[in-house]
Structure 1
């Protein structure tokens, strides 16, 4: 009952902010949220969650607002939308009970999950052939000497399918609740605009492409840059896995691959991106103005950043230590981090990219309908 009351109060707060903003319209050119807001005269909870996921939290409107605290209206658009955005992650998550496992102590839960999966892998290897191969250098750098290829495919393939299903179900819930029919997802021009905006992270440029805004009206492009490192680092690492799979099944080329092979180069660049991007985002998260943030979501945000960084760091360490006796231990630790990252994807900050993409698409669709 208390959660429902908190949610209702949050909806009322956000609706009040949007109503005042709709009357003022000083910030209408700052980001897509305000033009989308102006296309509405009233704000349902579904509308507000759409606007929340359209917001990129650049925070410029907060510092420009004449009604921001300590004004009696206490308008704080970035914070109220951040809180409602986090609430949408919980409401749309599938299956719902799993989302609540990470709702509190997200960082501790994510790290415990990584440690637990790592421990299970250690036990599985020890039961299968003893712990000796884990600290031996007789494996020749071959992962499959420790963990059979079929075991890895079945285990991680099953988890990947579950994660994909959970993400699709969450996105379907988000879109269905928006009131738009699924047939509306077929507008090619709107997808073109949405994907261009998403892949360039256009709306992290801020108003006039000055970057995100920080205390004392300081502007910076580093949040957008660190997002680029993180996103494209993740995509390169994923591409390395896909390329290795194609090599294995289509051409019969089995790992290990040479350093200058495509899977190794993609994985190395991806790992570097996952070292730089998440570290930078964590720094910016720690120095940001807490008045524009949802402090309650901090644990899960940091958990996602930590798992991304650990995945990149252990992946690069595994590549460097592949020909040594430390390879076995590092392989298990890396796989534990990857598995934990996958399992938490549908229930934490990772999903914001998918909901935001749908929100950006819907915004492009609305612009086209209104001839904007």
Structure 2
């Protein structure tokens, strides 16, 4: 005989046409809406209380507003093994993976999320093979001696700019299209002054990785820790610094006519080095935490995608720093080919991997900042 909760979930699914994952989130939020013990924990619960029911758009909005900190799971009196089986972080994570696939652009490529770990592995192998073969083909540079750090003696500048420029523009287009489709479905009826600034602050500060009381997230046990927030910050700002280094180097090359290689004390190298260190420490810490997380604190099926993205970020930084350290040696050409291969794999998988969560989470934070400035629209006891 089916349990009461299983029957409730099935009734919701049949009534709304939602997928089982969406119906499960709606079921759990109905219980949370009656309890409200976690109302002060993060943005999800105040946003939840503005609703009496949860349609498909609501479920995807709230799932992407969730930062998966785990505080509500460890505080919940209805968490497994209770028969209500409320595990909000796990249910939300399952729907988030569905969000990424449904809103991916072009739509057929959304299926890449189903086997993301394999996609990352293949993209890495393809990227490495491409640049190793190119390096061999271009005058046998892998067999040459030291080139005084001149990367363009291995790969011509126009070749690298053309390859990465085309992929980068595609990544921007794919993420923008997916994000705009998501926003079209969840956006509030009107805007609100100050909402954009607040949403930007919460995104940059990772406010909701602070747990309900600012003490941090629950990881593999009941203890609070800010490690996840700090490792996320190291990763996020490390990535931004590396991107800034590339932008500054582009200005040097095109606007000022200063060709690489640049001195170790130059702005592009300093930014890249500091960012690279952040991209070593952050992903290493996130992988360590991911390996220790409680299975109910996330979607187990999403772990290959999470870990694949973390590994690519770490390898991008590690190969980049190694290239900097040995750029004046005979190993430079090989290291450059390996580094560019890993970076190409990272770029190719950005729209179809864990990086996409940044786009949807920022959109959800924007909706929350607007929505809480508007009347709730819930009229209790109205005729």
With structure 1 as the length reference, what TM-score do the two structures score?
Answer: 0.94
Equivalence for 1:95 = 106
Q: Tell me the equivalent position of 2:10.
A: none
Please state whether the residue corresponding to 1:281 is helix, strand or coil.
helix
Q: CA shift at 1:7, angstroms?
A: 6.5
Deviation at 1:99, TM superposition (A): 3.0
Matched residue, 2:6: none
Listed as ranges, the matches of 1:153-164 within 5 Å are 153-164=161-172
Report the Cα offset of residue 124 of structure 1: 2.4
Corresponding residue to 2:143 among 135, 144, 153: 135
Is the CA contact 2:135–2:337 (under 8 Å) kept in the aligned structure 1? no
User: Greater helix percent: which structure?
Assistant: 1
Structure 1 segment 154-303 matched on structure 2, within 5 A:
154-180=162-188, 184=191, 187=192, 189-303=194-308
Per the TM alignment, residue 127 of structure 1 is displaced from its structure 2 partner at its CA by: 2.8
1:123 paired residue number? 133
What SS class does the counterpart of residue 129 from structure 2 fall into?
A: helix
Judging changes above 3 Å, is the alpha-carbon distance between structure 1 residues 325 and 287 closer, same or farther for their aligned structure 2 residues?
same
Report the counterpart of residue 66 of structure 1 in structure 2.
77
- In 2, the alpha carbon distance for the partners of 1:197 and 1:208 equals 15
What are the Cα deviations for residues 296-329 of structure 1, in whole angstroms up to 9, with x where unaligned? 0111111100000000000000000100010001
Deviations 1:201-234 (A, max 9, x none): 1110001101001344211000000000000000
Q: Give deviations 1:20-47, integer Å, cap 9, x for gaps.
A: 1111111111111000000111100110
1:152 corresponds in structure 2 to 160
d(CA) in 2 for partners of 1:123, 1:71: 57
Specify every segment of 5 or more residues in structure 1 that has no aligned partner in the other structure, as ranges: none
Q: Distance in 1 between matches of 2:135 and 2:329?
A: 18
Question: Is residue 111 of structure 1 aligned with residue 121 of structure 2?
Answer: yes
Inter-CA distance 93–162: structure 2 relative to 1 (3 Å threshold): same
**Contact 2:146–2:332 under 8 Å retained in 1:** no
1:32 equivalent in alignment to 2:37? no
CA distance in 1, matches of 2:180, 2:259: 38
Deviations 1:42-83 (A, max 9, x none): 100110110000001111111111111111111111110110
Q: Within 2, Cα distance between the matches of 1:301 and 1:214? A: 16
Identify the residue that residue 21 of structure 2 maps to in structure 1.
10
Match of 1:82 in 2: 93
CA distance in 2, matches of 1:102, 1:217: 31
Whole-Å separation in 1 of the counterparts to 2:40 and 2:217: 15
Pair 147,276 (structure 1): closer, same or farther in 2 beyond 3 Å: same
1:324 maps to which of 307, 329, 340: 329
User: SS at 1:369's partner residue?
Assistant: coil
- Count of residues paired in the alignment: 362
Query: How has the CA–CA distance of structure 1 residues 275 and 179 changed in structure 2, closer, same or farther, with 3 Å as cutoff?
Result: closer
Structure 2 unaligned segments of length 5 or more: list them. Answer: 1-12, 377-383
TM-score w.r.t. length of structure 2 = 0.91
- 1:50 alignment partner in structure 2: 61
Q: Deviations over 1:275-315 (max 9, x none)?
A: 00000000000001011210001111111000000000000
